[in-house]
Structure 1
Amino acid sequence: MTTSAWILLAVFLTLLGLMAWPLGKALAALCEGRVAAWMQRVEAPLYKLAGVRAGESMHWRSYALALVAFNAVGVLFVYGLQRLQGALPFNAAGMSAVSPDSSFNTAVSFVTNTNWQGYAGEATMSHLTQMLGLSVQNFLSAATGIAVAFALARGFAARGGALGKERGHIGNFWVDVTRITVWLLLPISFVIAIFFVSQGAIQNFAPNLDVGTLEAGKQSIAMGPVASQEAIKMLGTNGGGFFNANSAHPFENPTAISNLVQMLAIFLIPAALCFAFGRVVGDLRQGWAILAAMTVMFVLAVVAVISAEHAGNPLLNTLGVDQVANALQSGGNMEGKEVRFGIDASALFAAVTTAASCGAVIAMHDAFTPLGGMVPMVLMQLGEVVFGGVGAGLYGMLIFAILAVFISGLMIGRTPEYLGKKIETHEMKLMSIAILVTPILVLVGTAIAVIAAQGKAGIANPGAHGFSEILYVLTSAGNNNGSAFAGLSANTPFYNALLAVAMWFGRFGVILPVLAIAGALAAKKRLPVTGGTMPTHGPLFVTLLIGTVLLVGLLNYVPALALGPVVEHLMLWK
């Protein structure tokens, strides 16, 4: 790590903390239903139109059913929009209908907050599809994740003991999604979009521009409503780019300042949710503990990836290539990096986007060194809990917290408790499902891809690196990240179907057990703190939580990592 890298990391984390603290207060108010009277008057017509009774709390099963049905309708809508875009307006470039398999994959991708793209956005999607389909789902998928985090926080905060139909109630899904979208995501996205425009991001409905090149040729430059999509893409940890080059494109990410703001936007809500959680459960220290565990793991990942990229390629050293940074060169491994940002910002962005389930990129992860490329992969394989996606990071980390207190309870021979709620057999079964869903999807999907002829047909780099590309793409899909090594030809019927299955079950296979846990916790009485209660807010618990995440979250993938990036790294030193 260079001095400049440490300064960049310190500035980033400082600004993040300063912005996340006040936002955490606002999020806690939304979670607890404390909204101003004028806000309620604005919401009322929306609830009346939808036939929703805003004051009614829902049982966790009803909450889950509404959530899945809402997102299933979203898949159908985005799929139909792509298939019909050739006959719809706001199609200045004359885009034709998207193929059925790609449409299905993209619809599932954006609804599940994955935003995996097997296509070039500016050459495939019309302005209408980008705005009405993809951008809208950027808002709604983010709101869904935050709603689940709210529901779980309410489960912990509930005093319990409710009888009859009130037992296991965790809030109203329709109210949560409405308030999160209208009072959180829309206002902040608007401000960020205006800032991006001020930096040089484009925002228009113009057709492609044909310009002359220095070689007397012609180039078609895509136009469109980029800044607005870029804002929610980052804020909602979505990641789908308007352009194929994603955030490496100067129309999406014009300056170093816009690059820093994009990284801050990615982590803003995940960090603020930790503070909100502490307020909702009545103990700010609990939120600080969760945030501390996330931050420690994130800093370790950043140090690892930046160090690996600065070290460069040892094979080039044997050829006499100078890879040391000096006044005339950046040094290290600059392959696949955006020269505007260099190694430090590119590696930090890679850690941010894969830690937070975003998927936006400013560098080609496929061109990182083997160990440098393994860091983003591992951050996803941990379950996207190192800050994680909006909502998903918090509820994912809380699942590991439940496991941590269960392990500690076994050590000392006591019934485990977390925030005054006993963790019993029912919760542990649900927790096990939530933790095991994604490893099963990733590892089984990878096995299918490396065995099937259709899967191997997409490999351009046979060997350890080709295996890493397949492992990465399934890791990205199963954990709803959306980034890619990009050396794999994945826009085929085989991969579009395989990844869509991984994305759908990777999202809702975790959400449903989490909501069931929320319902179970909400029905339990909250026990008072006694001398025998294990503290869950100090350095000891933070260490235990980090150890649980690393051991349980990562051990599932160690054999697969040994076949891919680890082998490739060893090959560089042969």
Structure 2
Amino acid sequence: MVELLYFPFYLGLLILVSPFVGYYMAFVLNAKSLPLEKKLFQFLFSGAPPTQTPKQYLNSLIIFHFLGAVILFLILKFQNLLPMNPLHLPAMNWDLALNTTISFITNTNWQAYSGESQLSSFSQMVGLTPQNFLSAGVGISVLAFVSRTVVSTKSNRFGNFWSDLFRSTFYILLPISFFVSLFLVSQGVIQTFQNPVQSVGMDGVPNILPMGPAASQIAIKQIGTNGGGYFGVNSAHPFENPTPLSNFIQLFSILFLPASCVFLYGKITNSFRHVWVIFFVMFSFLILGFTGAYFSEIHHLGFWEGKEFRFSLTESTLWLSATTAASNGSVNSMFDSYSPLAGGIAIFQMMLGEIIFGGVGTGMYGMFLFLILTVFLSGLMIGRTPEYFGKKIGSYEIKWTLFGILSPTVCILLGSAFTIFLESGYSAKGPHALSQILYAYSSAAGNNGSAFAGFSADTLWGNLSLGISMLVGRFSVIYAVVFVAGSLGGKVTTKSSDGNFKLDSVLFGVLLFSVILIVCGLSFFPVLALGPILEQLLINKGIFF
């Protein structure tokens, strides 16, 4: 009975909490002044931070990412020379260090390494954890920028990147993470600088139990939709996720801030009914994904390898659905162990572009591109010039919209094809092997970070090709939404009339849902048919791989 109520309770709490947090985020990001920041801005800008044009905003964003990447790469490459390395771990190889650096600055947190055995406490705490905050803060900042532009009145300056990033990090992500960290510690998640503990297992074999400051990284990995676990098996590890209550809090943390970003957008644009339509379109995809995966698992109860008996089927399957609906790479069971249909649903949710709530900020600004495309197609159908918030949509906006939607798609398809046909070091064959490859490139291009465990990514080809996919998946969408929103922000707002297509209607929600499904279905159905769909049909016939 408790298990049956788990999913409805989770959804109800998400609906209840998200609007209030979203309105708080909007207040923080649009406030004229906040405590503590005056002295910082006086030092950096000799006063209030200047507002920026879209190009200036992007330039600041790129400079910030470049500096962060250099610092993180050096930490990983020379961790053997740095303190807080009780296991005396060696430096990372350059290609793995580069892949990990790209992974964390793009909010992907793809892990081609095992955290407790390849990274020192210094690398985890000083290198990775700050990027968990900052990469999530960038997502919120870009969404705030987009929100301001679409309702501006013919202006070409829409905020300051450094101000948005500071507020997102220190007034939103940091305080929430602090309280979640304390709660996780109360549940038994470790947060210590103690040296590894040596023990003897039941079989008499000596074991080394790695310790470290895990709770602080776990809190922000979930809240910031990062997903990079302190331990290799992530939230399936009892040191990361020891109790059902810690599991629920981590699971709720994956989606509540991305869901809140929908209402952040609504508050800044003053379009409450419109964002409720968007919210329930995302909500519908989440429910359909979970339902499909759950019932597929019920009919394949023999797939136990890689799953935690500590968690129920609902807890495990909801984590699978939530983490691939958001751009969060954490796991509490191994996704490679799920039925082909459940794994295929997880792949498809990432292929949608991580817009079923998606990452913090990134899910909503990714959905913004689909909003523009839906409005454009709707305008063509009724014979009117398409408008979004009274701003006319032209060829410039549509070109950038399609660029942002299709660039990650190209990475997924080409990356998978090259991995199969080139001497990439991955030699498995069959539909499940294709599913593993598809999952990897969908996860990278969607900045998700989770993986089918059977895919060996720590090769030169894997590190470089997946790294490129992460960069394209992150920055192609950011460039697209900033240029589209910036172009709309510079246009005159026309007065609404009875002939305008209503953005807050059920019809618009149905059209938006259909456009997302059709665009992604046409792009990916053939390759999905050769991977998880074919594997499911073969397993139904008793043929296994």
Question: Normalised by the size of structure 1, how large is the TM-score?
Answer: 0.92
Please report how far the alpha carbon of residue 570 of structure 1 lies from its aligned counterpart in structure 2 after TM superposition: 1.3
1:32 aligned residue (23, 30, 33): 30
2:390 aligned residue (409, 417, 420): 420
Change in CA separation of 1:171 and 1:52 when aligned onto 2, cut-off 3 Å: farther
Partner of 1:323: none
Give the residue type in structure 2 aligned to 1:171.
Answer: G
1:88 aligned residue (79, 82, 88): 82
- In 1, are the aligned partners of 2:84 and 2:120 still within 8 Å (CA)? yes
Partner of 2:153: 159
Please report how far the alpha carbon of residue 16 of structure 1 lies from its aligned counterpart in structure 2 after TM superposition: 1.4
Asked whether 1:208 is paired with 2:196, we answer yes
Give the residue type in structure 2 aligned to 1:380.
Answer: M
2:62 aligned residue (52, 62, 68): 68
Asked whether 1:384 is paired with 2:384, we answer no
Partner of 1:341: 311
Asked whether 1:403 is paired with 2:373, we answer yes
SS in 1 for 2:198: strand
Please report how far the alpha carbon of residue 46 of structure 1 lies from its aligned counterpart in structure 2 after TM superposition: 2.5
2:228 aligned residue (240, 244, 249): 240
- In 2, are the aligned partners of 1:275 and 1:287 still within 8 Å (CA)? yes
Give the residue type in structure 2 aligned to 1:261.
Answer: I
2:497 aligned residue (525, 530, 538): 530
Distance 2:15 2:184 in 1: 22
Asked whether 1:307 is paired with 2:295, we answer yes
Please report how far the alpha carbon of residue 522 of structure 1 lies from its aligned counterpart in structure 2 after TM superposition: 1.2
Asked whether 1:442 is paired with 2:409, we answer no
SS in 1 for 2:78: helix
Partner of 1:222: 210
Partner of 2:258: 270
Please report how far the alpha carbon of residue 332 of structure 1 lies from its aligned counterpart in structure 2 after TM superposition: 5.5
Asked whether 1:78 is paired with 2:56, we answer no
Please report how far the alpha carbon of residue 140 of structure 1 lies from its aligned counterpart in structure 2 after TM superposition: 0.5
- In 2, are the aligned partners of 1:276 and 1:287 still within 8 Å (CA)? no
Partner of 2:426: 458
Please report how far the alpha carbon of residue 51 of structure 1 lies from its aligned counterpart in structure 2 after TM superposition: 4.1
Distance 2:26 2:522 in 1: 34
- In 2, are the aligned partners of 1:92 and 1:206 still within 8 Å (CA)? no
Give the residue type in structure 2 aligned to 1:219.
Answer: N
- In 2, are the aligned partners of 1:52 and 1:174 still within 8 Å (CA)? no
Change in CA separation of 1:299 and 1:417 when aligned onto 2, cut-off 3 Å: same
Please report how far the alpha carbon of residue 526 of structure 1 lies from its aligned counterpart in structure 2 after TM superposition: 2.1
Give the residue type in structure 2 aligned to 1:523.
Answer: G
1:512 aligned residue (467, 472, 479): 479
Partner of 1:324: none
- In 1, are the aligned partners of 2:29 and 2:167 still within 8 Å (CA)? no
Partner of 1:141: 135
Asked whether 1:477 is paired with 2:444, we answer yes
Asked whether 1:121 is paired with 2:115, we answer yes
Partner of 1:354: 324
Distance 1:409 1:5 in 2: 45
Please report how far the alpha carbon of residue 458 of structure 1 lies from its aligned counterpart in structure 2 after TM superposition: 2.5
Give the residue type in structure 1 aligned to 2:503.
Answer: T
Distance 1:503 1:426 in 2: 25
- In 1, are the aligned partners of 2:390 and 2:494 still within 8 Å (CA)? yes
Asked whether 1:173 is paired with 2:161, we answer yes
Change in CA separation of 1:5 and 1:534 when aligned onto 2, cut-off 3 Å: farther
Give the residue type in structure 2 aligned to 1:82.
Answer: L
Please report how far the alpha carbon of residue 14 of structure 1 lies from its aligned counterpart in structure 2 after TM superposition: 1.1
Distance 1:6 1:429 in 2: 46
Please report how far the alpha carbon of residue 270 of structure 1 lies from its aligned counterpart in structure 2 after TM superposition: 1.0
Distance 2:371 2:349 in 1: 17
Percent identical across equivalent pairs?
A: 40
> Any idea what the Cα deviations from partners look like across 1:20-74, whole Å, max 9, x if unmatched?
12111111112323444xx1xx112323444475341100001001101111111
Partner of 2:245: 257
Give the residue type in structure 2 aligned to 1:399.
Answer: L
Which shifted more, 92-101 or 405-414? 92-101
Please report how far the alpha carbon of residue 8 of structure 1 lies from its aligned counterpart in structure 2 after TM superposition: 1.4
Please report how far the alpha carbon of residue 76 of structure 1 lies from its aligned counterpart in structure 2 after TM superposition: 1.1
Give the residue type in structure 1 aligned to 2:87.
Answer: A
Please report how far the alpha carbon of residue 566 of structure 1 lies from its aligned counterpart in structure 2 after TM superposition: 1.1
Distance 2:522 2:48 in 1: 44
SS in 2 for 1:404: helix
Asked whether 1:394 is paired with 2:379, we answer no
Partner of 2:12: 14
- In 2, are the aligned partners of 1:355 and 1:384 still within 8 Å (CA)? yes
Give the residue type in structure 2 aligned to 1:404.
Answer: T
Please report how far the alpha carbon of residue 489 of structure 1 lies from its aligned counterpart in structure 2 after TM superposition: 1.2
Distance 1:52 1:340 in 2: 55
Give the residue type in structure 1 aligned to 2:196.
Answer: N
SS in 2 for 1:556: helix
Partner of 2:533: 566
Distance 1:411 1:6 in 2: 43
- In 2, are the aligned partners of 1:380 and 1:479 still within 8 Å (CA)? yes
SS in 2 for 1:430: helix
User: How many residue pairs end up in the alignment?
Assistant: 541
Give the residue type in structure 1 aligned to 2:430.
Answer: G
Give the residue type in structure 1 aligned to 2:95.
Answer: D
Please report how far the alpha carbon of residue 486 of structure 1 lies from its aligned counterpart in structure 2 after TM superposition: 1.2
> Any idea what the Cα deviations from partners look like across 1:233-278, whole Å, max 9, x if unmatched?
0000000000001000111111111111111111111111111211
Partner of 2:276: 288
- Unaligned 5+ segments in structure 2 are none
Please report how far the alpha carbon of residue 170 of structure 1 lies from its aligned counterpart in structure 2 after TM superposition: 2.1
> Any idea what the Cα deviations from partners look like across 1:534-558, whole Å, max 9, x if unmatched?
1111211111111111111232111
Give the residue type in structure 2 aligned to 1:28.
Answer: A
Give the residue type in structure 1 aligned to 2:264.
Answer: A
Q: CA RMSD in A?
A: 1.3
Please report how far the alpha carbon of residue 4 of structure 1 lies from its aligned counterpart in structure 2 after TM superposition: 5.4
- In 2, are the aligned partners of 1:310 and 1:332 still within 8 Å (CA)? no
Change in CA separation of 1:432 and 1:231 when aligned onto 2, cut-off 3 Å: same
Change in CA separation of 1:202 and 1:400 when aligned onto 2, cut-off 3 Å: same
Give the residue type in structure 2 aligned to 1:103.
Answer: A
- In 2, are the aligned partners of 1:359 and 1:483 still within 8 Å (CA)? yes
SS in 1 for 2:117: helix
Please report how far the alpha carbon of residue 419 of structure 1 lies from its aligned counterpart in structure 2 after TM superposition: 1.8
Distance 2:41 2:200 in 1: 53
Question: Normalised by the size of structure 2, how large is the TM-score?
Answer: 0.97
